Structure 1
Amino acid sequence: MPLYGYEADTTSSLEDYEGESDQETMAPPIKSKKKRNSSFVLPKLVKSQLRKMSGVFSSFMTPEKRMVRRIAELSRDKCTYFGCLVQDYVSFLKENEECHVSSTDMLQTIRQFMTQVKNYLSQSSELDPPIESLIPEDQIDVVLEKAMHKCILKPLKGHVEAMLKDFHTADGSWKQLKENLQLVRQRNPQELGVFAPTPDLMELEKIKLKFMTMQKMYSPEKKVMLLLRVCKLIYTVMENNSGRMYGADDFLPVLTYVIAQCDMLELDTEIEYMMELLDPSLLHGEGGYYLTSAYGALSLIKNFQEEQAARLLSSEARDTLRQWHKRRTTNRTIPSVDDFQNYLRVAFQEVNSGCTGKTLLVRPYITTEDVCQLCAEKFKVEDPEEYSLFLFVDETWQQLAEDTYPQKIKAELHSRPQPHIFHFVYKRIKSDPYGVIFQNGEDLTPS
């Protein structure tokens, strides 16, 4: 079905998105220059004026962009509960590649985390000003979703891409897809069930360019908007060159042909990324329809047989799509915040090698003794009896007793009216003769 009535909306929305933040990570590399003998330092007066100008420009931002920007700033502040939650999760995911059994498992976990954090922020008092003071009630979820893309998906973009590639390389699916793409490209359109006009070389180049732009984006919503543009372009070619309208049965073979001609393995993971991370509310409209069409086209290529061109989706592919749609759109209980606050950042301090850190999966009722055992494994300590877990807060070292609960200590610190900078450090006991034993139930601050 054609995309009537969607052009203006898609164009304006995408242009607004493209000017926002996706390309922030795509800045061209800065060429190194020879150091000069003298350095230029901005006078304090100029710096002050620049700060004022920055404040003026911020005041011209729309309420939506101001709120997204504020949430992004909050996510980087580890003195806040929200910032700690986001930073610990991002660190854990990057440092523990083995914690997911499949690409779908990884993406589903990220989507669940985004949903839970949205739910937390909508009720949190950490946002100042409150979101409802700037954003209409019916738009709050939309704004929070965009903020999640910026806070969570942006810092994870490179890691997620690498993991998706690793998963599909390891299971052999990309090898098979690469071979099938070559087979499909060798067939003429009619052998693929195409009986409508197809894009010419120049139009195919435009489409491929849009797919390449899609790869640079971290927002699944923006990716889907580009996919809609591609589908609109294909429909325009089909109808303008024939003078007739076409339906879904005619469109799918043409889309299959176009994807094969673009010859991009990465489209497989792009489709998977959108299917698993797109907000469920957007799966009921055109975005969901053309996303499933793209999945169907890739399925036809993956199941392509040299002796017989696959023109219809297999029953297995149809079942997979039905199960996916049901899983993504059925209302389910939102995971508890406990499911996502189980990360603890622990620094490892050695006299000779300095300090390194890892984010560990630590449940709320895991004791310090258990955390020490986990640290010994993660940091490969040969004499764990010589080490213990310390809390560094208010410029004071406190050795935690074995029966204390680090996650409860962390939660208590975050609940205090005044933010505290604190660190959990796994280090040698003898290296800190002034450490104070922290007994279960004692106050955290030194007397």
Structure 2
Amino acid sequence: METTHPLPFDSFLDKMRNPASLDLVRSIKSFIVSFSFNVGNPENDGKRIQDFFLTTEAAIRDHPLWAGSTDEEIDNALEGLEKYVMTKLNSRTFASSAQDVKMDREISEKICLLQTFLRPEHLDIPVVLQNEALWLLAEKELKKINAFKAPREKLLCIMNCCRVINNLLLNASISEDHVPGGADDFLPVLIYVTIKANPPQLHSNLKFIQLYRRQSKLISEAAYYHTNLVSAKSFIVELNAKSLSIEETEFEESMQAARLVNRVPQITSPTIDKISTFGKQTDPGPSTEMHKRKTNINDHHIAILGSAGSNYPYMEAEAGELTVGDVERLLGLYKDVVTKYNSLCNTVRHLSISKTTVSPASEGTNDLLRGHNGTSRDTDCKGE
């Protein structure tokens, strides 16, 4: 598997330390400074950086330091240039718009819901391709994507993930006598791996690579794998019951149950302002036990909170420590928890009844329906 920490960057830095490279160093640093002061616009930014790479490539090819260099040595210098510039400009170019940040959050949240119930058969992945060990390896490669700031290294994470999947398909075709289905086999597995991995800022990473990877390098295998992950992302964004081999009612119930689980309230500690408000409410005063502790109003509420940052602020409290001001908040929390608990129980009970009352005859019908939905899913999967 190709490393994501290449030597060309070190070679590029060594060249830049040479006094003879002063003109190039000044040009690169001047570009970085001027770019940083401009108002961000992803599409314009991408074109501007691509133009700078082309201009600097011409300067490097004509520079005395690279006189007599091979194409590979020139290419290594350009890889080093890309990494240097994009690492310096990462905070300015990566996830640079509010829309990108919003898209990243929405995709991640949807994947979190799908993770609770989605199985390989929902994507019509053949049993012969269901290899948890290799899938886990592919997931780990994809999860590394945010550990790097340069587009080449981010792209390598995608390529390493896809190569694992490609090897899985190849091995299945050899050892299991499975006829490879090309994208019809590859893309569903990539979609499933992506959902299992839930890579951070998926949308922004794909866009960053598209805009800032040198265009002469976003070709062939790299372009194919990048395009497939873009298609996988688009499939996940648009995914609904018709995209999968699953009954629509089962899909909706599973998504609803997942939403309920994900909406369990995480109760945080009151802020200083809220604590001050509590102090102004009608209060008969602390209990005798609290009086013996000689605590003021802030100490009282800190005692009720229990350990710092606790998500269950009344767990450590004693009855005598509560005030009139706490009753309304406690009642609200109680109603909220009971409502969500009843909704979750009803959903789970309905799912259980649905699964236990299916007759063998209806199972056959369901298989036919799943096959029909699977056809729809295959159509949605192809391309972006």
Question: Is it true that 1:280 corresponds to 2:210 in the alignment?
Answer: no
Matched, 1:296 2:231: yes
Per the alignment, residue 82 of structure 2 pairs with 149
**Contact kept? 2:82, 2:214, Cα under 8 Å:** no
Matched, 1:99 2:33: no
* SS of residue paired to 1:311: helix
Alpha-carbon distance in structure 2 between the residues aligned to 1:308 and 1:122: 50
TM-score (ref. length: structure 1): 0.48
- Kept in 2: contact 1:217–1:223 (CA 8 A): yes
Q: 1:191 to 1:104 in 2, by over 3 A?
A: farther
Offset at residue 226 of structure 1 (A): 3.1
Q: Which residue, out of 170, 173, 178, partners 1:244?
A: 178
Structure 1 residue 131, shift from structure 2 partner: 0.4
Q: What CA distance in whole angstroms lies between the structure 1 residues aligned with 2:129 and 2:5?
A: 28
Residues 226, 264 of structure 1: CA spacing in aligned structure 2 closer, same or farther, 3 A cutoff?
Answer: closer
SS in 1 for 2:377: coil
Partner residue of 1:69 out of 3, 13, 16: 13
Structure 2 counterpart of 1:209: 140
**Partner Cα separation in structure 2 for residue 240 and residue 275 of structure 1:** 31
Decide which of 82, 85, 92 is 2:27's aligned counterpart. 85
Q: 1:251 to 1:308 in 2, by over 3 A?
A: closer
Aligned equivalents of 2:66, 2:15: Cα separation in 1: 10
Q: Structure 2 counterpart of 1:132, which letter? A: A
How big is each residue's C-alpha offset from its partner over 1:76-111, in whole Å with a ceiling of 9 and x where there is no partner?
98xx44333322222233344x331xx344333322
Instruction: Give the corresponding residue for 1:121.
Output: 60
- Structure 1 residue 284: deviation in Å? 3.2
Whether the 8 Å CA contact 1:220–1:278 is kept in 2: the answer is yes
For 2:94, which of 133, 156, 161 is the aligned residue? 161
Pick the aligned partner of 2:107 from 169, 177, 183. Answer: 177
Opposite residue 108 of structure 1, the aligned amino acid is: K
Question: 2: CA distance between counterparts of 1:232 and 1:243?
Answer: 20
TM-score, normalized by length of structure 2? Answer: 0.55
Q: Structure 2, unaligned stretches of length 5 or more?
A: 245-375
Amino acid at match of 1:86: I
CA distance 1:104–1:256, change in 2 (3 Å): farther
Higher RCO structure (Cα 8 Å, ≥6 apart):
2
Give the Cα–Cα distance (whole angstroms) in 1 for the partners of residues 135 and 243 of structure 2. Answer: 25
Q: CA contact under 8 A between 1:178 and 1:265: conserved in structure 2?
A: yes
Aligned match for 1:191, one of 97, 110, 122: 122
Distance 1:251 1:162, change over 3 A: closer
The answer (yes or no) to whether the contact 1:74–1:83 under 8 Å persists in 2 is no
How far has the Cα of 1:296 moved from its partner?
A: 0.9
* Partner-residue secondary structure (3-state), 2:126: coil
Confirm or deny that 1:132 pairs with 2:67: yes
- Which residue matches 2:156? 225
Task: Name the amino acid aligned to 2:203.
Answer: D
Q: Deviations for 1:213-270, whole angstroms, at most 9, x for unmatched residues? A: 3322234333333322211212333454544242221110110111011112423222
1:337-356 pair list within 5 angstroms: none
Conserved 8 A contact 1:199-1:234: no
Quick one: structure 1 residues 234 and 175, their matched pair in 2 at CA, closer, same or farther if it must change by over 3 Å? same
* Offset of residue 210 of structure 1: 1.8
Question: Given the superposition, is the C-alpha separation of residues 189 and 151 from structure 1 closer, same or farther in structure 2, using an over 3 Å criterion?
Answer: same
Asked if 1:18 is matched to 2:84, the reply is no
- Contact kept, 8 Å, 2:40 with 2:96, in 1: the verdict is no
CA distance in 1, matches of 2:135, 2:96: 29
Opposite residue 215 of structure 2, the aligned amino acid is P
- CA RMSD for the aligned pairs? 3.3
- Bigger fraction of residues in strand: 1
On the 8 A contact 2:125/2:188 being kept in 1, the answer is yes
Give yes or no for contact 1:227–1:290 (8 Å, CA) kept in 2. Answer: yes
* Structure 1 segments unaligned to the other structure (5+ residues): 1-10, 23-64, 322-447
Say whether 1:253 aligns with 2:188: yes
Closer, same or farther in 2 for the Cα pair 1:271/1:116, shift >3 Å? same
Structure 1 190/85 Cα, relative in aligned 2: closer, same or farther at 3 Å?
Answer: same
Deviation at 1:112, TM superposition (A): 2.4
Secondary structure (helix, strand or coil) at the match of 2:67 reads helix
Report the structure number with the largest CA radius of gyration. 2
Q: How many residues get paired?
A: 248
Aligned to 1:311: 377
> 2-side partners of 1:156 and 1:289: how far apart?
26
Q: Secondary structure at the match of 1:99?
A: coil
> Aligned in 2, Cα 1:74/1:304: closer, same or farther, shift over 3 Å?
farther
The amino acid across from 1:223 in the alignment is: K
User: Percent identity among equivalent residues?
Assistant: 16
